[in-house]
Structure 1
Amino acid sequence: MFASCADPSQLDGLAWLLCYLTTGKQFLFYGSFLTVIALMVIVAPVALAFGFAGAIAARAHFAPLRWLGKGYTAMVRGVPDIIFFLFVPVAMDQGLEYLRSKVLCPSTGQSPWHDGEFTVCAAAKLPLSTTPQIWHEVYGFVLAVVAFAIVFGAFAANVLYGAMNAVPRAQLETAEAYGMTPAQVRRRILIPQMWSYALPGLSNLWLILVKATPLLFLLGIEDIVYWARELGATKSGFYAYPHPDWRVWYFLVLLLYYLGMTKISEYFLGKLTTRLARGQATMAGEAMRKAGA
């Protein structure tokens, strides 16, 4: 990055370290923190939407829809997360390419799944081989977001379903007695009231999501774990900046990062819990009422 870094062999001490920390690969390491943060920021609302849909479906009076909602949560909760993290991207990728092959590929009369391989014509590939590398990375990231959203959406659905059931039935019956339709009761009474009950579970789910982001490494995405392992490993004299095994220091940075993210999350979640508990008939709301008295 700096002109003085042109010949690393002539550097030592702090000058060597400064040049080492400003190499292109080091900036990829720094940028990977943004990738992880982007994953959390995008997955959280998408998973919440999945969870909300699953919870509403599980409470539906229409039996097939209720079975679908309960089946979604039961299936994902009953299978190890890593199975879904690995299965969903592969299944989506092959499914999309299969649909594209039906339109873009000449008919061969043979299934794309044959001889133990999945093969489609070049025109059906996602992304195309001629597509810039950045779009290959974006595509992989989108598949990862969907996988995370499906898994955490199922857990969110379970939390929201329990929170909806925790809203006192008397409040819903009172709203019905005033002539509100089921949709109005759900929109004006049930959903606003449930958040104070759901937030503790959703808070834990958010912290689990924060800790689950290293699974990006298993999906082939160059995240912070990938770069910490890559850059921290022993580098011989063949490299511009040779060094011994520094993985412990790189992983120490990741340790501090995750501890910092947890502390920041706990602070804002605590503020949100206090705000939602105000005036609510919950343990937190009752504690606030007594403190005010």
Structure 2
Amino acid sequence: MFSFCTDPASLEGFQWMSCYLTTGKHMNIYWSVGTVLLLLAITAPLALAFGFGGAAAARSQALPLRWFGKGYIAIVRGVPDIAFFLFFVIALDQAFEYIRHKIICPDWDAPIRQGNDFVVCAAAKLPLGSAPQWIHEVYGFALAVLTFAIVFGAFAANVLFGAMRAVPKGQLETAEAFGMSRRQTFWRVLVPQMWVYALPGLSNLWMVLIKSTPLLFLLGVEDIVYWARELGGTKTPQFTDYPHGDWRMWYFLALLIFYLAFTKVSEVVLDRIMARLTLGQATAAGERQRKAAAA
């Protein structure tokens, strides 16, 4: 990147470090920060949507729908995250390929399950073997996003279900007394009121989601943990123009600072949102605001 980087062997100190941190390999770790942020930006609203759907189903009057909602919450929350991530991604990938196989290759007569192997026709593979590398990376990232959303959606569903139950029944009964239907009461009274009760739990869930992004490494996505390990390992002159010892401690220290800074910023933003939601509310937080304003 810099003009003085043409001969790394002649560099020392700041110049050596400047050239080292701007190599093509190091650009990957900078891009991987964007990968983590993109994951959070997509997963958070998607998980919230899964959570809202699960919570609404769990309180439904239709018994099968209520069983589905409560089953989704109980099953996903009851399985360790790492086990779910390692199993579900494989199962989801095979499910997609199985459906494509049945549609694209209806004349296939060989068994799909052949011992430990899962064999479908070449046209049903996801992605196709002839697809460019970026297609493979986008597909893997999409599977990771969907898995994260389903897992954290179950936790969000539990939080939202509790928040819905925390809304005073008197408000719902009053709405019904004014002639609102059950649907109108749900959307006009229950949903707007529940957020003040849900935000503390959702705030914690957001923090957990941030700390769980290194699980991308287990899903085959080259995230910042992957590149920190790769770049921080010992590099000899035979393999690089910038040899160094085992620097993984420093790379992981940088990750520690990154995550601490990110969670701190999140805390500040969430506190402001909470203050806005509780303003004038008959809650402990609202009461504190009234006392502070009167003092």
TM-score interval w.r.t. the shorter chain?
over 0.9
Instruction: Tell me, in whole angstroms, the C-alpha distance in 2 between the residues paired with 1:233 and 1:189.
Output: 56
TM-score (norm 2): 0.97
Report the counterpart of residue 236 of structure 2 in structure 1: 236
Report the counterpart of residue 47 of structure 1 in structure 2: 47
AA paired with 1:266?
E
Number of residue-to-residue matches in the alignment: 293
Instruction: Tell me, in whole angstroms, the C-alpha distance in 2 between the residues paired with 1:194 and 1:161.
Output: 9
Q: What is the CA distance between 1:165 and its match in structure 2?
A: 0.3
Flag the 1:111–1:281 CA change in 2: closer, same or farther, 3 A: farther
Q: What is the CA distance between 1:193 and its match in structure 2?
A: 0.4
Report the counterpart of residue 278 of structure 1 in structure 2: 279
TM-score (norm 1): 0.97
Q: Does 1:264 align with 2:265?
A: yes
Write out per-residue CA displacement over residues 27-60 of structure 1, whole angstroms, 9 at most, x where no aligned residue.
1111100000111111000000000000000000
Write out per-residue CA displacement over residues 138-197 of structure 1, whole angstroms, 9 at most, x where no aligned residue.
000000001000000000000000000000000100000000000000011000000000
Q: Does 1:29 align with 2:52?
A: no
Q: What is the CA distance between 1:15 and its match in structure 2?
A: 1.7
AA paired with 1:56?
A
Instruction: Tell me, in whole angstroms, the C-alpha distance in 2 between the residues paired with 1:206 and 1:83.
Output: 21
Instruction: Tell me, in whole angstroms, the C-alpha distance in 1 between the residues paired with 2:243 and 2:225.
Output: 20
Instruction: Tell me, in whole angstroms, the C-alpha distance in 1 between the residues paired with 2:106 and 2:10.
Output: 60
Q: What is the CA distance between 1:6 and its match in structure 2?
A: 2.5
Map 1:1-293; keep pairs closer than 5 Å.
1-105=1-105, 107-238=107-238, 239-293=240-294
Residue 131 of structure 1 aligns to a residue whose secondary structure is: coil
Instruction: Tell me, in whole angstroms, the C-alpha distance in 2 between the residues paired with 1:210 and 1:107.
Output: 46
Instruction: Tell me, in whole angstroms, the C-alpha distance in 1 between the residues paired with 2:12 and 2:250.
Output: 19
Flag the 1:286–1:236 CA change in 2: closer, same or farther, 3 A: same
AA paired with 1:236?
T
Q: What is the CA distance between 1:233 and its match in structure 2?
A: 0.4
Write out per-residue CA displacement over residues 51-81 of structure 1, whole angstroms, 9 at most, x where no aligned residue.
0000000000010100000000000111101
Instruction: Tell me, in whole angstroms, the C-alpha distance in 2 between the residues paired with 1:245 and 1:178.
Output: 70
AA paired with 2:244?
H
Instruction: Tell me, in whole angstroms, the C-alpha distance in 1 between the residues paired with 2:259 and 2:30.
Output: 15
Write out per-residue CA displacement over residues 84-110 of structure 1, whole angstroms, 9 at most, x where no aligned residue.
212222111111111111222363323
Instruction: Tell me, in whole angstroms, the C-alpha distance in 1 between the residues paired with 2:124 and 2:8.
Output: 46
Superposed CA RMSD in Å reads: 1.1
Instruction: Tell me, in whole angstroms, the C-alpha distance in 1 between the residues paired with 2:213 and 2:167.
Output: 33
Residue 222 of structure 1 aligns to a residue whose secondary structure is: coil
AA paired with 1:262?
T
Q: What is the CA distance between 1:111 and its match in structure 2?
A: 2.5
Instruction: Tell me, in whole angstroms, the C-alpha distance in 1 between the residues paired with 2:38 and 2:87.
Output: 22
Q: Which deviates further from its counterpart, 103-112 or 147-156? A: 103-112
Q: What is the CA distance between 1:11 and its match in structure 2?
A: 2.1
Residue 60 of structure 1 aligns to a residue whose secondary structure is: coil
Q: Which deviates further from its counterpart, 38-47 or 7-16? A: 7-16
AA paired with 2:289?
M
AA paired with 1:25?
K
What residue ranges of structure 2 are gaps of 5+ in the alignment? none
Instruction: Tell me, in whole angstroms, the C-alpha distance in 2 between the residues paired with 1:99 and 1:184.
Output: 39
